[in-house]
Amino acid sequence: MFSRSLFVANYFNREIKSIFGDKMPVVQVHLWEGRTEEQIKEIIEGITDVFVKTGSKPESVRVLLQDYPKTHWGMNGKPASEKK
């Protein structure tokens, strides 16, 4: 479920380490609204686990989630809410 997200997180972890060391990885995730609190918690835990596996301390990892309504997310020149 998280394979693509984990790849992206792993890539950004390397980039952050090369610039700042392992001080405070910050991952920003933009997604459509509608997930439950449990799903949000699972996403945060999954992303944090990737960073821990690549050498970060769990307490140093920051995960920021931003929910957007589909009416505020554009794809192919149209709001995602109009996608069939």
Per the annotation, the verdict on 25 as an active-site residue is yes
| DSSP line for 3-50 | HHHHHHHHHHHHHHHHHH-SS--EEEEEEES---HHHHHHHHHHHHHH
- Among 25, 58, 69, 79, the active-site one is 25
| Main-chain dihedrals φ then ψ at residue 66, nearest 5 degrees | -125, 115
Residues recognised as catalytic: 25
